[in-house]
Structure formats: C-alpha cells, structure tokens
C-alpha cells in the first residue's frame, strides 16, 4: 500500500527515522543533506527479496533478478565487480567483507520531498505513527576512545610505490592513476548511528548514507554522483580537483578562483571527462554524449570541488547491467586510460577496495530511474 503524509520539520523526522531503523538488519538511508536533489531523503527498510554475489558472472545473475522485480531496489556495487575480462582482481586481504554486488527489495519504502512524505508498506499509517513515536535524540552512552588508526602500508613502502607509478606515467603507460591505501582500526567499539550523526554534523554532503547489511555497515558523506538515469537520459558528474576550505568568509571567492584556475586540477578533470565521454558513448546514441558543464566549482563544508557533468541519450534496449558494464567503476577512482590503470591498481595496491571504491544507490521500477 502507498500513502502520503506531511512532515513539518524534516530534520526532526530524519532523526526519528534513524532511531526507528535500529530494529532492521538490512536498511539503506540516503540523505541529500538539504542540497538540491530529487528527494530530501530516501529510506529502504527490511528485505522482501535480495540478490548478492561475488562470483565472476555476478552482474549477469543480477540481470535476471532485476528483470523479475517490480519494485524499487537498493544496494551497492563493489570495486571488484567483474565488468572487464582484462582485469583479474587478484585475491587480496578483504577486511570489509561486503559482497561484490548486493541489492534488496525493501519491505518499507519512504521518500520525502519538500515536506511531502510517501510511504509504501503493508500499513503506511502504522509506519508513520511508529516513527513519530521514536526518540529524536541519538543514544550515545559513554563515548569510548577509539584505538589508533593503522595503515596497511608503511610510509617507506608507500613512497616507493608512488615512485614506481610515476615511472609508469613517464613511460606513457597511463596519464593519471588513483592510488589508494587502506587505513583501519581494529576492535572499534562504537555506535554507527552516533558516528553517522557526528559525520553529518561535521560534513553534510548531497550523497550521505547509512547502510547496513547484517553486521556490515557503511557510513558515507560523499559529494560525488557516479551515474543517474532518468528515462532515456543518463549523466555522470566526476570530481577531479579538490581544495581545502578555510571557511574564512573574506577568502571564500579567492579559494574558489584558485581551484578554478589550477592547471593541474583542470588537466586531471578534463582527462576524466574524456574517459566518461568514452564510457557513455558505448551505451548512448551516436552524437548524443555531451559535456553539460566543464570545471564547475562547488563548495562544501570542508572542501571546494571541481565537478564536471557529462550526459547522453541511452540506446533503446540498454538495461542496468549494460550500463554498469560500460561505466563501472567510475573513472574518478581509477584514472586514465581505465583498463591500464585498473591493472596497475591490482598490481600495486595491498587491499581489496570493495565498497569503499564502489557505488551505493537505487533502481526504480522498470529502470526508469537509476541513481548511484
């Protein structure tokens, strides 16, 4: 069943939703943090049906599951999801343990836009009443100090690897490469809801999320959109170019102009724009791929970002699996050219990236809209 309601204070209601979500082992809470978006927030709670896999043909298996579903699907793609036969993805340590792909059909779906709430559930009114009875405060208990952050690589090993990667660039093997190292905390005893609240207070972003899969959690505060598809149009908004924001009002425009005029950041950004144009051209009508905005400067609480927007008209008959095969993983997390740098990432990085360098989002019924 589907019912509509009105919410007076969106922020208060979101806090109640988060406390209400504590009863579910599987949920996805997506928050635009009051930035302009299709929804103020979206909630998927409980699982009527689900698909998960880390097999080589995981995406093909998901294709069949997606074709059967008549409702929204929420979930994630992990970096090692096989979308190219040229990337083997060596077996490495995986401390995150998320499957390469997981999507679920929610028992309860909540969307909110401009104080208007829509709930899909067996009894929407009961869900709305129960959420309103939930507490606003996030129970913190005693705040325990966390153990120290550790790295999988020593400083010396990191520098040595960077020197090797610079040689690959100098030889012309690649133009740029996004090299990651894993930082972690062992035996962290903390409350994910409390951490998410602190993260949102410090760094609200248009693609914030709290995501749970049993004992696995993702806390996200991202400014970057991987892809969005609306009817037959698809667009991507890669970020390359970042400058720390001082929040000094008299320096704000000066900082923005500094990033806008940075030759290094513009060079990195345009390379990723070309990569995304190439990816989209594989699934879009000839001549339809275009750059809607180049080197756009956007300010967030912690940083200024250089964001470009690329779009195209998707070929008829193209489905979600086809789109992911053509575009995933996102170029801003690989470098260019994509296949070569992914091979170098596999060679030099010590840990599996998994969901850290993947995508989280939803698919609406009939694939009319996809956002990750």
CA distance 103 to 361: 9
Residues 233 and 351 in one domain: yes
Residues 65 and 189 in one domain: yes
Residues 87 and 175 in one domain: no
The residues that are catalytic are: 224, 240
- Is the CB of residue 41 less than 8 Å from the CB of residue 77? no
Prior bond of 286 cis (ω within 30°):
no
Q: For residue range 184-226, what is the model confidence (pLDDT) as tens digits?
A: 998 888 899 999 999 999 999 999 999 999 999 999 999 999 9
Residues 316 and 202 in one domain: no
Quote the Cα angle for 131-135-139, to 5°.
130
Residues 206 and 61 in one domain: yes
- Is the CB of residue 358 less than 8 Å from the CB of residue 226? no
CA distance 176 to 342: 11
The tally of domains found in the chain comes to 3
3-state secondary structure 178-229: CCCCCEECCCCCCCHHHHHHHHHHHCCCCEEEEEEECCEEEEEEECCEEEEE
Residues 135 and 169 in one domain: no
The pLDDT, as a whole number, for residue 1 is 85
- Is the CB of residue 201 less than 8 Å from the CB of residue 15? no
CA distance 57 to 44: 26
Quote the Cα angle for 237-243-247, to 5°.
110
The pLDDT, as a whole number, for residue 5 is 87
Q: Is 73 helix (H, G, I), strand (E, B) or coil?
A: strand
The CATH number linked to 308 is 3.60.120.10
* Spatial CB neighbours of 147, under 8 Å, sequence gap ≥ 6: 185, 186, 187, 188
342 in any annotated domain: no
Residues 256 and 163 in one domain: no
* Spatial CB neighbours of 34, under 8 Å, sequence gap ≥ 6: 40, 204
Residues 84 and 24 in one domain: yes
> Which stretches of the chain score pLDDT less than 50?
none
Residues 72 and 197 in one domain: yes
279 in any annotated domain: yes
Of 363, 360, 311, which is closest to residue 81 (Cα–Cα)? 360
268 in any annotated domain: yes
The pLDDT, as a whole number, for residue 142 is 61
Which single residue is written with the structure tokens 């990723």?
272
Q: For residue range 295-320, what is the model confidence (pLDDT) as tens digits?
A: 999 999 899 999 999 999 999 999 89
Residues 114 and 259 in one domain: no
This prediction has a pTM of 0.93
CA distance 100 to 52: 8
Residues 113 and 176 in one domain: no
Beta strand residue intervals within 54-156, DSSP E: 73-77, 101-113, 116-120, 150-151
Residues 213 and 231 in one domain: no
285-301 exposure pattern, b = at least 16 Cβ within 10 A, e = fewer: eeebbeeeeebbbbbbe
62-91 exposure pattern, b = at least 16 Cβ within 10 A, e = fewer: bbebbeebeebbbbbbbbbbbbeeebebee
The pLDDT, as a whole number, for residue 250 is 78
Report CA 152 to chain centroid distance, whole Å. Answer: 23
Where is the domain boundary, 220, 245, 273? 220
Where is the domain boundary, 132, 160, 184? 184
| Domain extent for 171 | 150-184
Quote the Cα angle for 50-75-326, to 5°.
110
């Amino acid at each position: 069943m589907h019912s509509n309601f009105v919410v007076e204070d969106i922020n208060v209601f979101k806090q109640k939703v988060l406390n209400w979500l504590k009863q579910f082992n599987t949920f996805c809470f997506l928050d635009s943090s009051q930035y302009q978006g299709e929804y103020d927030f979206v909630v998927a709670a409980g699982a009527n049906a689900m698909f998960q896999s880390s097999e080589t043909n995981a995406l093909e298996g998901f294709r069949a599951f997606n074709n059967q579903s008549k409702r929204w699907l929420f979930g994630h793609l992990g970096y090692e999801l096989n979308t190219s036969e040229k990337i083997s993805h060596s077996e490495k340590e995986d401390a995150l343990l998320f499957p390469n792909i997981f999507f679920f059909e929610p028992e309860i779906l909540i969307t909110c836009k401009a104080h208007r709430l829509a709930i899909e559930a067996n009894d929407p009114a009961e869900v709305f009443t129960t959420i309103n009875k939930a507490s606003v405060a996030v129970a913190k208990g005693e705040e325990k100090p966390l153990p120290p952050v550790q790295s999988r690589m020593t400083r010396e090993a990191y520098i040595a690897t960077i020197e090797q990667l610079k040689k690959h660039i100098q030889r012309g093997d690649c133009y740029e490469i996004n090299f990651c190292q894993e930082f972690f905390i062992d035996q962290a005893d903390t409350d994910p809801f409390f951490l998410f609240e602190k993260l949102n207070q410090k760094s609200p972003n248009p693609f914030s999320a709290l995501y749970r899969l049993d004992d696995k959690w993702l806390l996200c505060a991202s400014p970057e959109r991987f892809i969005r598809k609306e009817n037959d149009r698809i667009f991507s908004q890669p970020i390359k170019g970042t400058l720390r924001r001082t929040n000094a009002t008299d320096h704000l425009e000066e900082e923005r102009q500094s990033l806008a005029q940075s030759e290094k950041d513009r060079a990195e950004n345009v390379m990723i724009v070309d990569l995304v144009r190439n990816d989209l051209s594989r699934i879009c009508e000839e001549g339809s791929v275009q750059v809607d905005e180049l080197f756009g400067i956007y300010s967030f609480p912690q940083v200024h970002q250089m964001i470009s927007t690329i779009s195209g008209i998707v070929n008829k008959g193209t489905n979600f699996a086809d789109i992911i095969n053509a575009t995933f993983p996102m170029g801003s997390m690989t470098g260019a050219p994509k296949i070569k740098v992914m091979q170098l990432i596999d060679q030099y990085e010590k840990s599996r990236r998994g969901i850290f360098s993947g995508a989280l989002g939803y698919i609406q019924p009939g694939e009319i809209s996809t956002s990750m």
